[in-house]
Amino acid sequence: MAMRREADARSCDVAGCDEVSERSLNIKQVVDTGMSLKDPEARTVHLCREHYKEYKKISKSSRKLDSIY
């Protein structure tokens, strides 16, 4: 909460979602989860709270990410 800066507020980059984003991630991490994005060309993906939760859930269940890094 304390780090919140309204000037930086952006909407979530997941297709069909207009929530305010809370996190930004490298697009490769997000594409790996199979989530569909508004702008697949972007380097950074902004996720709202709900989609970040979803992202974490998906990425946790795939061991693929661990083996790459």
Q: Give the interface with Zn ion as residue ranges (CB under 5 A).
A: 12, 14, 17, 19, 48, 51
CB nearer to Zn ion: pick between 17 and 58: 17
HEC string of 3-65 equals CCCHHHCCECCECCCCCEEEEEEEHHHHHCCCCCECCCCCCEEEEEHHHHHHHHHHHHHCCHH
CB nearer to Zn ion: pick between 36 and 68: 36
Query: CB of 28: closest distance to Zn ion in angstroms?
Result: 18
CB nearer to Zn ion: pick between 17 and 27: 17
Query: CB of 12: closest distance to Zn ion in angstroms?
Result: 3
